[in-house]
Structure 1
Amino acid sequence: MAIELETSWHLRSIMASRGIFQTSKIGPLLSERGVQLSREQVYRLVTNAPQRVRIDVLTALCDALECSLDELITVKRRDAAPVREAVGETAQGPIGDLRPIRASIRRPSIER
């Protein structure tokens, strides 16, 4: 059974709860903590859930916004539905141990 992880990024809502409504306000807060990001990087960080985030950026965000990592990112775990096998399929293959016989092409003999 596969496990699916669903993450949620709450930076924008945490900013709003702190009275910060512009992405340009986050850049200086991060700079004070030694993290230099361009305006575009800060905008993408706020508006989209990132696939990868450096640890120093996460710690600077948590310190600047006075929040915990659990408030910034939530992870939900759920078990994926088991994949059902089709009728007749087994672990060896669709028809058990049987394998198809390789075809051979024979040319008809030409009589002259």
Structure 2
Amino acid sequence: MDYVWHLRAKMAERGMFATTDLQPRLAERGLALSREQTYRLVTGQPQRLSMATLIALCDILECTPNDLIEPRIVEASAKKVAGDVNPVKSRVSARRTTINRPGHAQ
């Protein structure tokens, strides 16, 4: 599972095109994020997000969490069935390493 983060698009819908437009509005709601944190929140895809931040974003943008976060299935894993044989992965052969030291004859 993965997700698409639509914060930047939702900000644009509300006329906010810079990360600095969001920072004071978050501060009004008691969230003191640094410029760098706000920038990463807007331009990146957050791996962790507090509920307070999510609720503040929804309030500012007048949207729901579903509007900000779109779940995506990246790769459906196949269920293993008893008796299935895994294909043999390519084998890497071991090779001795030779260390050449300066000043020593081989």
Regarding TM over 0.5, the answer is yes
The structure richer in strand per residue is: 1
User: Alpha-carbon deviation of 1:6?
Assistant: 1.6
Paired residue type of 2:11: M
Distance of 1:25 and 1:16 partners within structure 2: 11
Number of the residue aligned with 1:97 = none
Q: 2:41 aligns with which of 33, 39, 45?
A: 45
**Residues 10-66 of structure 1: CA deviation (Å, up to 9, x unaligned):** 000000111110100101111111111011100010000011111101100000110
Equivalent-residue separation in structure 1 for 2:87 and 2:36 (angstroms) = 49
From 55, 63, 67, the equivalent of 2:63 is 67
Q: Paired residue for 1:79?
A: 76
Instruction: Say yes or no: does 1:27 pair with 2:28.
Output: no
- 1:76 Cα deviation after fit: 2.1
Q: CA deviation at 1:86?
A: 2.3
SS at match of 1:7: strand
- How far, CA to CA, are the matches of 2:51 and 2:78 in structure 1? 33
The residue type equivalent to 1:9 in the other structure is W
Q: Structure 1: which 4+ aligned runs deviate by more than 6 Å?
A: none
Q: Which runs of 5+ in 1 are unaligned?
A: 88-112
User: Which one has a bigger Cα radius of gyration?
Assistant: 1
Where 1:20 maps in the other structure, the secondary structure is coil
Give TM-score, length-normalised by structure 1.
Answer: 0.68
The percent of aligned pairs where both chains have the same amino acid is 48
SS at match of 2:31: coil
